[in-house]
Structures are given as structure tokens and as C-alpha cells.
Amino acid sequence: MDYVFILLGLSFAWILVRELMSLRRNKSSKRLAPGPFPLPIIGNLHLLGDQPHKSLAQLAKVHGPIMNLKFGQINTVVISSSVLAKEVMQKQDLTFSNRCVPDALRACNHYDFSVLWLPVNHDSRWRTLRKIMNSNIFSGNKLDVSEHLRTKKIQELIDFCHKSANNGEAVDIGRAAFRTSLNLLSNTIFSKDLSDPFSDSAKEFKDLVWNIMVEIGKPNLVDYFPFLEKIDPQGIRRRMTDHFTKILDLMSGLIDERLKERKMRNYANVDVLDALLNISPEELDRNHIEHMCLDLFAAGTDTTSNTLEWAMAELLQNPHILEKAQEELAQMIGRGKLVDEADIAQLPYLRCIVKETLRIHPQAPFLIPRKVEDDVELCGYIVPKDSKVLVNVWAIGRDSVLWENPLVFKPERFWESEIDVRGRDFELIPFGAGRRICPGLPLAIRMIPVALGSLLNTLNWKLQGGIAPKDLDMEEKFGITVAKAQPLLAIPIPL
């Protein structure tokens, strides 16, 4: 134990000397972007707090839309304006397209197989994986084929809410949405439920995905002091290795099962797993398929379910908007019906509500952090080699230069506006932009309005415990995504 402390002490002393030397160097190389003065060893870590997206938005008001900070040993550049976001993700997209890989994602060497973390340059594997995803999973045709499976899952969500309504019980919207998102994804990929409260293995799967999200969301010392990598002081990589091993085993079991089914006569192959197996092993080996499935669940579940929970929370806090949405639904598809994916085109107000939710509650407030491989010049400043680059989408969505009354939830702001979330309008980039834009966007913008519209069109809703709309707690909890700090408990009322 003493030995570990001596080692840690020596390492910190070494960092301190390096920090002081680099401070002297940086003073003379005047072109770093402005930012708060870094303390020895920790740099600016003490300024992050437990809501880093908010702390960094505040700092940007003092230091400007491009800031240079030091978190532990990691130089970090924070972008907080739509103009600079466009520069980074459109004009200099390739330079800023690689990722800064969190240590937790090194568990089971996941980063080396994963579309989320593979580098764009020097390696064509990322490109191959993106192409395979776009054509085999997220193309309009492919998504149309699996729509009926998703409709069934939405029906089950509504049945569950009706049951709660009949018992006069509140629904924990976030939990119900999480289960539904998992099943929407698992049906899209495997034509199968992986979250069923009555089955042990399915419950285990839900807990696994949940635990992975919790673990990735924890601040990890190793990400600020990479020399601690071997020690893994918080045990995050160790626990992630357990979770990943279990989930990859589960995926492997599902693949074995499918390979057997495919040998049967008259087997009609239809879903994503079949499409991936059809091109395997030539274009995609089995290892990559397992890791790709893991990526899809990790990237697609929380993001979708949190967005749904926030949308419901905003509507329950703003009953006039909820009523207006219900009127549109009643008029366009008829009260009491489920919303189909094809209906979305006729529901402009519902689409405005989803956009407004994504503006004010972007699920990846810094996108997924990028990294530069060499010194790069950005708007007259140097972004030093190996810097982490955060685009504060949360701050951009609340920028009063871009948005009138930015803190007010007002879907009408999109009514006559062409602004969209597809990565062309840099004032609204909840899915990112450029090469690394979220490939799941086409699925997300089907699932969210369908689930939200169906909840609104088949039931009425009120807050549990007689809470007045204006008193609803809207605090955020920062993690890998931004969840509601207090779960939204709402009582469904039959029509």
C-alpha cells in the first residue's frame, strides 16, 4: 500500500514539474484560446462541478465561444457558439472527426471495434461500419420493414399505461420509456423483446444496459490523469469489463440461435441481424457484429428514452401546449388512436415539440467528445495536438443571440422556421453534424414522435401528488446523457 502512495506521490510531483514547464511554454506561445487560469496538477478541474455543461456555458460568457482549459493533464478546447461549431464540424470536419476515447470504453477492447470510437482517418474500418449501418439498418426501406414490430411495442407501452390508469397508479415515464426504447431497438435489430419484466434474462439485459450507462456517465480520474490507467483507481474499467463481457455473451447467444434458425427450411430473413449475417464474414466478422449491437443499444436507448421523458415533462409543465398537441392529433388522426410512423408527416406541431425538446434538452450536451491528432488552427488560435474538443450544444441551444427567450419551452418558434435537426443548421445540432453525425437519427425521429404522440392521443395525463405544473422539478442530472434528476411520475387518465 505504502508503495502505491509513494508511486502516486512521485507521479503527481512529476506532473507538477511538467505543468509548470508547459505553463511557461504556453505563455510564450500566445495563440492558445482564452480561458481560466489552470491550477497546478488539477488545471481547471475544480471549475467543472457536477453540471459541467452549465459551468462551461457560464465560463464561455466570460472567456468567449472558444476556450482553452486544462482538465488534469488533458488540454480541452470548448466551443460554445453555432458559428464556431460550423467551423469545427463543417469547414474543418475531417480534422476534428476523431474521438477522445474514455478509459471505460477500453474494456473488452470495445473501442477497437466500435463505430463510436474508431478513428476516421488512417483506418477505413469506421467508414465501412458506417456504410453498413446506413444501408442495412437506418435506410428508409429497412426501417419501413420493421415498422410493424415497433408499432406492437408502442401498443404495449400504451396498454401498460392503461393498466396503471385503471389502477389509479402513476407511471414512471423515464422507466417506461427506457423499457420501450430497448424493445423498439431490440425488435428493430433482432425482431425480439429483450426487456420483459417477467423474464429473468430480459430483466438482466435491461439492467446491463442501464448499468453500462451509469458506469460510462461517472467522471473517471483516468480520463484526466491517463498515467493512472493501469491502476484504474475507481474500478470503472473493471466493472465495465464485467458488463461488456455479459452483454457480448448475450449477443453471441442471440447470433448462435439465429444461425440455427437460418438453417431451417423456409426461413425468411428480414431483420437487421439477418442483414448483417448476410454480409458476414466477408464485410463484417462476428466480433464486429457483436460490438455493433452493443453500440446500437448503448447509443440509442437512453438518448431516446430521456428525450421522451423530457418532452412529457415539458408538456405537463405547459398544459396549453399539451392541449394544442392533443387537438392536432384529434384533428389529423382521430382521438384514441396510436400514431403511426407515416402519420408524423401530418403532425407539424408534434414535430415542433420534439425539436423544441431536443433544443432545450440535448442528450449529448457536448456531443461525443472529439480530438485533434495534430496542432490545428481554429479562428486564429492553436488547438494543440491531442486536445479534447467539446462542442457545448446545450449552451448553443440556450444562446439568447440565436433564440428569443431561450429558456422558455415554445414549440411555436419552429412553426414557420426551416431549422431542422439534421446537422445543417448549426444552431440546432442535438445529433451532431458532419461525418460523425448520429447515424441513428432516422430511427430516433420516427420513434420519439410516435411514442410521444401515442401517449398524448390515447390518454390524458396529470402530475402525481397534485403537483402544480409550475412546481414540477426540472433539475437535470449530468451523465453520459442528461436525465431528469427527479423521475417524472405522471398519472394516466382514460379518455
**Where do contacts with ligand HEM occur on this chain (CB under 6 A)?**
115-116, 130, 185, 295-296, 299-300, 303-304, 307, 363-364, 367-368, 430-433, 436-440, 443-444
What are the Cα distances from residue 408, in Å, to 52, 109, 169, 317, 426? 22, 43, 30, 11, 20
- Nearest distance from C-beta of residue 342 to ligand HEM, angstroms: 19
Question: In terms of CB distance, is 63 or 110 closer to ligand HEM?
Answer: 110
Question: In terms of CB distance, is 225 or 426 closer to ligand HEM?
Answer: 426
Question: Between helices 441-458 and 286-317, what is the axis angle to 10°?
Answer: 40
- Nearest distance from C-beta of residue 192 to ligand HEM, angstroms: 15
Nearest to 304 by CA among 177, 212, 431, 475: 177
Contact between residue 286 and residue 280 where contact means Cβ atoms under 8 Å apart: yes
Question: In terms of CB distance, is 63 or 370 closer to ligand HEM?
Answer: 370
Give the residue ranges of DSSP H helices in 147-235: 147-167, 173-190, 200-217, 221-224
- Nearest distance from C-beta of residue 364 to ligand HEM, angstroms: 4
Place of cell 484526466: 224
Q: In 3-state terms, what secondary structure has residue 44?
A: coil
- Nearest distance from C-beta of residue 130 to ligand HEM, angstroms: 6
- Nearest distance from C-beta of residue 443 to ligand HEM, angstroms: 5
Question: In terms of CB distance, is 54 or 130 closer to ligand HEM?
Answer: 130
Question: In terms of CB distance, is 161 or 445 closer to ligand HEM?
Answer: 445
CA atoms within 13 A on the CB side of 418: 2
Ranges of beta strands (E only) in 388-488 are 388-391, 459-463, 476-478, 482-484
Question: In terms of CB distance, is 83 or 231 closer to ligand HEM?
Answer: 83
Q: What stretch of H or E contains 67?
A: strand 66-71
CA atoms within 13 A on the CB side of 261: 16
- Nearest distance from C-beta of residue 324 to ligand HEM, angstroms: 22
> How big is the CA angle at 298 (ends 141 and 351), to the nearest 5 degrees?
55
Contact between residue 322 and residue 493 where contact means Cβ atoms under 8 Å apart: no
Question: In terms of CB distance, is 102 or 439 closer to ligand HEM?
Answer: 439
- Nearest distance from C-beta of residue 365 to ligand HEM, angstroms: 9
CB neighbour class for 22 (10 Å; exposed up to 12, middle 13-18, buried from 19): middle
Which neighbouring-strand residues pair with 478?
482
First to last CA, the chain: 65
- Nearest distance from C-beta of residue 335 to ligand HEM, angstroms: 27
Q: In 3-state terms, what secondary structure has residue 26?
A: helix
Instruction: List the grid coordinates of 92.
Output: 474543418
Question: In terms of CB distance, is 367 or 490 closer to ligand HEM?
Answer: 367
- Nearest distance from C-beta of residue 311 to ligand HEM, angstroms: 10
Question: In terms of CB distance, is 73 or 363 closer to ligand HEM?
Answer: 363
